[in-house]
């Protein structure tokens, strides 16, 4: 098990990384210490207040590793790919946190990477392979089948992202993209629904990562444009809402939109506009049945002193078997989290919105979803059955609209 790893960072506007500090395994936790040269420059703390500039080792609070470091590591699918590549037979062989950081590819989320050396940066990347080959390799990992070594390495080095379903980072004619693959085990066209929801969100005026739905080997592939890269190759520091809220993995169940709204008022650029955007994302999630809106599915750019909300991502309608549903994060300071827009309007003051403003946002979203659903569903290639199965179940479920006439 690895006991030490060096953290490298791309500073704003720079194309080459510099070493920022070192991670060390100290019993059950991993500490971080800034390198002296980086500390003396004093330009860009990795994240505040979590990792303040100091030369002493900093121990994490509430987790085994600092949240801004955790955000850069593989999770979910990325870890599954690593375990498959190492041919691990049981959980007893689980790699350590630092091992996961060093085994995953360098083209990870945000502006950090991890190396065994403090002096020489060697990126871990692959010879670019086709989407077809990546999809075939992902299928094999899902099925627990062997993968040709060169494909296994390519998938490993492009699969730092988290989440449940197969995905990989790719580049296409200078574009930095996240490719999300359909799973052979899915029982509904998940990527078609996600494409439709993301497209409708943009039509509703939300800041959303651009998406494109293509076919590879007769299967859906959703291409999501990365917002942590630009065309030149600059990287932007990104932290999850889980980190913004100062919560660890276990404490994530206590994350709430209300607490995030309070942090926005204190630490984000353009707080009023950001709170309006946050409120609009909450209500849109409810209207399209995205109840998987946990704190890892929200993020912010970090510029060394302030935070700025990133474009929305992972807006995926979830299966609805009936009416009542709840969001992953509480919406009101009272802990209310039900999937009903009327209750959101009643709590609009938390997001610096009066009743008229909050109602206007909701009514516009409903109107634009009703107006655009057929066109967007068809552009996603949904069959008439798939379209009908989602309408008024996932999309504008009647429970989401209950009580709206009384507001």
Contact 2, 96 (CB under 8 A): yes
Residue reference for tokens 């590549």: 85
Assigned token pair, 234:
């600059």
pLDDT tens digits, 342-370: 999 999 999 999 999 999 999 999 999 99
Whether residues 347 and 242 share a domain: the answer is yes
Q: Which residues pair with 206 in a beta bridge?
A: none
Q: Name the band, by pLDDT with cuts 50, 70 and 90, for residue 159.
A: low
Could you tell me the end-to-end alpha-carbon distance of the chain, in angstroms, rounded to an integer?
A: 57
Domain closes at, from 91, 115, 139: 115
Closest C-alpha to 112, from 238, 294, 281, 270:
238
Domain boundary among 115, 147, 179: 115
- Name the DSSP letter for residue 301: E
Residue 383 has a pLDDT of 96
* 248-306: pLDDT as tens digits: 888 888 999 999 999 999 999 999 999 999 999 999 999 999 999 999 999 999 999 99
Per the structure, the complete domain to which residue 88 belongs is given by 4-115
Give a yes or no: residue 337 inside a domain: yes
What pLDDT, on a 0 to 100 scale, did the predictor assign at position 89?
A: 66
Q: What SS3 class is residue 350? A: helix
Instruction: Determine the Cα–Cα distance for residues 174 and 372; give it in Å rounded to an integer.
Output: 31
Q: What is the CATH number of the domain that holds 255?
A: 1.10.1070.20
3-class DSSP state of 84: helix
219 shares a domain with 243? no
Q: Which residue has the higher pLDDT, 365 or 319?
A: 365
CATH of the domain at 184: 3.30.200
């Amino acid at each position: 098990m690895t006991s030490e790893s060096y953290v490298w960072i791309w500073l704003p506007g720079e194309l080459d990384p510099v070493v920022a500090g070192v991670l060390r395994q100290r019993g059950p936790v991993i500490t971080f210490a800034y390198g002296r040269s980086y500390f003396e420059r004093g330009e860009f703390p990795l994240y505040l207040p979590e990792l303040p500039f100091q030369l002493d080792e900093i121990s994490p609070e509430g987790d085994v590793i600092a949240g801004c470091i955790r955000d850069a590591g593989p999770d979910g699918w990325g870890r599954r790919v690593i375990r498959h590549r190492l041919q691990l037979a049981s959980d007893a062989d689980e790699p350590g946190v630092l091992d996961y950081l060093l085994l995953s590819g360098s083209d990870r989320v945000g502006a950090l990477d991890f190396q065994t050396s403090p002096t020489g940066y060697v990126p871990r990347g692959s010879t670019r392979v086709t989407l077809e080959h990546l999809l075939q390799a992902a299928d094999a990992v899902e099925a627990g089948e062997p993968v040709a070594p060169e494909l296994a390495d390519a998938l490993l080095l492009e699969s730092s992202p988290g989440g449940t379903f197969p995905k990989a980072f790719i580049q296409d004619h200078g574009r930095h993209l996240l490719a999300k693959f359909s799973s052979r085990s899915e029982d509904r066209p998940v990527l078609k629904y996600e494409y439709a929801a993301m497209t409708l969100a943009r039509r509703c005026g939300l800041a959303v990562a651009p998406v494109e739905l293509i076919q590879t080997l007769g299967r859906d592939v959703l291409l999501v444009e990365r917002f942590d890269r630009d065309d030149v190759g600059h990287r932007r520091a990104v932290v999850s809402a889980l980190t913004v809220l100062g919560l660890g993995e276990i404490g994530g169940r206590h994350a709430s939109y209300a607490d995030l709204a309070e942090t926005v008022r204190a630490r984000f650029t353009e707080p009023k506009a950001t709170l309006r955007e946050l409120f609009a994302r909450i209500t849109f999630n409810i209207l399209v049945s995205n109840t998987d809106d946990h704190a890892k599915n929200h993020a912010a750019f970090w510029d060394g002193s302030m935070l700025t909300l990133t474009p929305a991502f992972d807006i995926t309608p979830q299966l609805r078997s009936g009416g009542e549903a709840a969001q992953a994060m509480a919406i009101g300071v009272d802990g209310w989290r039900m999937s009903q827009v009327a209750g959101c309007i009643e709590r609009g003051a938390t997001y610096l919105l009066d009743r008229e403003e909050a109602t206007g946002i909701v009514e516009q979203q409903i109107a634009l979803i009703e107006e655009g659903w057929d066109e967007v569903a068809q552009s996603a290639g949904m069959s008439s059955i798939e379209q009908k199965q989602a309408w008024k179940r996932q999309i504008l479920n009647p429970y989401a609209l209950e009580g709206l006439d009384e507001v």
